[in-house]
A and B are shown apart, each in its own frame.
Chain A
Amino acid sequence: MTKFNAWNVIKNGLNGQSYWTRQWRDPEPKKNYDVIIIGGGLHGLATAYYLAKNHNIKNVAVVEKGWIGGGNAGRNTTIVRSNYMMPGNHEFYEHSLKLWENLSHDLNYNVMFSQRAHVSLFHSPGAKDSVSRTYNIMRLHGTDAELWDLTKLKKKIPHLNYNNSRFPILGAAVQKRAGNARHDAVAWGYARAADTLGVDILQNCEVTGFTRTNGMIESVQTSRGIIKGKKIGFAVAGNTSVLWQMAELGNLPIESHKLQAFVSEAVKPLLDQVVVYGVGGAHFYISQSDKGSMVFGGDLDWYKSYAQRGNLPMVQDVAEAAMAIFPSLGRIRLLRHWAGVMDMTMDGSFFICKTPISNLYLNAGWNYGGFKASPASGWYFADLIANESPHIYVQNHNLERFEKGINIDERGAGPDPKLHG
C-alpha cells in the first residue's frame, strides 16, 4: 500500500498516477482467526485497527455482509462533539474527540475533520440553565465549552431567524473543538490502516449462524464459509438484536428505530458551524458540507423499524424546523434523504461489554451518536477484547446496569428507547 505523502503525490503526478496500489486487499477468508469482528462499519473497522495497533493482535477478520461503510457509516450527519456530562460518557466522548483531532495523521488518510464549532441554540431561561449545567461540567473536566450571548451569536451567525416568537433565540452553548468529518474517508481510512497492519476485511460475507461448543462460540457460519475465531466481537448497531438472537441469547435493552438525514443542492458558503436547534425547542441539526450542500436531520420516525427508508411526516417536521430557524433555506431543493437503523437503548447510552458467552464481546447501542464515537468505540472495544476487562470509562456500559440501577441517562427520559435524543 503506497503511503500518502508529498513525495508520492509528486512522483505519481509525474507518472500519470500509475504507481498507486490498491487501498486494501480483498482476501479469501482464512480458516482461523484470533479475533473475528462482525460488522464492517466505522466501529468494527476501528476496533480491528486498534487491536492491531495498540494490542499487537493482527490475525483479525472484519466480516461485513455488504460493503464496508455501506450501513450507518454512510447514513449520518457526520457531527463530532463531546458535550456529555454523565460519568463514563464524558471521558469516553472527550477521548474520542482527541482521537479525531489526530486521526488523519494517525491513519495517513485525510478524514477532513473540521473543527468548525458546534452551536446549540437555547430558547428559554430554563433551557439556558440546563445547558449551562452540562457545559460547566464539561469545563470542570477540561473540555472546551462556552456560552455565547445574543450579541456574539448574531455576529457569528447573522442569518438565523432572531424573530421567532414561539422559540426566541436567547443565545447558544458552544463547543469550539467540535465539528464534522468526511464519513466515507473515515471508513476507508480505518480499512486501509487496518489492512496495512494485517487485518483481513471480508466484504459480501454475511453471518448466517454460530457453532457453539462448551458454551463458547467456536466458529461463525458465513456466506463465504465457516470461519473459526478464538474471540468474536459484535459491532453491528442497528441489527444487534438479530445477531444476538442468532446466538440464542434472548432479549436486549435495545429497540431498532430509524433516523433520517437530508442533503440539499449545493449553495455558496452559507454556514460555517454546526447549528443545533435543540435545547428547549425542536430537535434539528444542520451543517454545510464541503461541496456546499446543507446536511441536516431531526428526530426518529417514532415507530420501531428495520427499514432503511424514511417516512414523510418526519420530512415535513424537519422542513418546518429548518424554516423556523433558517428561513433563508425556504427555496432550496432537497437532493436526497435517507434513513439509518439505530440501536436505541433504554437509557440512551451505549454498550461495550462482555456477554453471557465467554468469548463473545458486544459493541452496540449507539443511539443518535455513533459517528462521533467511532474512534473511542474501536479503542475501548479493542481494549476489552485484548485485556478481558473493561476500561474504567466503560465499566458501567454493560447489560447489567439496568438491574443495578446505574442507568447512564443523559436526558433523563426513562426506559423508552425512542425518547433518547
Chain B
Amino acid sequence: MIRINCPYCGERDHSEFSYGGDATIKYPSLDSSEKEWTKAIFFRKNIKGFQLETWHHTNGCRMWLEIERSTVTHEIRSVKPCHPDLKKVVENNK
C-alpha cells in the first residue's frame, strides 16, 4: 500500500485516491498545429524514477493533488494541492 499524506485529511492509503496521470502536461493554444496537439495528448515521457503526477482524493476531501513519486520504489517526496490558491492556503497554515 502506498501512503499519501493528504494536506487536508492527513496520511491515508492510496486506495482512497484515484490516479490522474502526468502533472506536467501543458496543452498548447487552441490554434496550435495538429502535431503539437498530438504530442500533448498522446505522447508521454514515461519517466523511470521520480515524476510529478496528479491524484484525486476521491474517497476523502476530493481535492486534486500534485504528487512527486518514484515509479520504481513508489516513494513519495512531496504532496501539494493542484489548485494554486489552495496551495497558498496550505503553505500559509504551516
Contacts and interface: CB of A to CB of B under 8 A. Distances in A.
Is chain B a partner of chain A in the same complex? yes
A200 B52 CA distance: 41
Interface residues of A, number: 27
Nearest to A244: B46
B73 A253 contact: no
A254 interface: yes
A346 B49 CA distance: 21
A252 B46 contact: yes
**What 9 A-B pairs have minimum CB-CB distances, sorted nearest first?**
A241-B46, A251-B43, A313-B15, A303-B19, A402-B42, A403-B38, A253-B42, A346-B42, A306-B48
Nearest to B1: A312
B42 A415 contact: yes
Given A313-B1, A402-B38, A254 B46 contact: yes
Interface in B30-89: 34-35, 38-39, 41-46, 48, 51, 53, 71-74
Given A304-B21, A403-B34, A311 B46 contact: no
State the main secondary structure of chain A at its contact with B: mixed
Contacts of B43: 250-253
Interface string A221-264: 00000000000000000010110010000111111100000000
Nearest to A311: B1
Contact of B73 (A307, A312, A418): A307
Interface string A200-226: 000000000000000000000000000
A313 B48 contact: no
Contacts of A415: 41-42
Contacts of A255: 21, 44, 46
Contacts of B45: 241, 245, 251
B90 interface: no
21 contacts: A241-B44, A241-B45, A242-B48, A251-B46, A252-B44, A253-B42, A253-B43, A256-B48, A303-B2, A304-B46, A304-B71, A306-B72, A307-B74, A313-B15, A346-B41, A346-B42, A402-B42, A403-B35, A415-B42, A416-B21, A418-B21
A303 B73 contact: no
Interface string A167-191: 0000000000000000000000000
Interface string A355-390: 000000000000000000000000000000000000
A302 interface: yes
B14 interface: yes
Nearest to A302: B19
A305 interface: yes
Contacts of A307: 71-74
Given A241-B48, A311-B2, A305 B71 contact: yes
Interface string B13-34: 1110011010000000000001
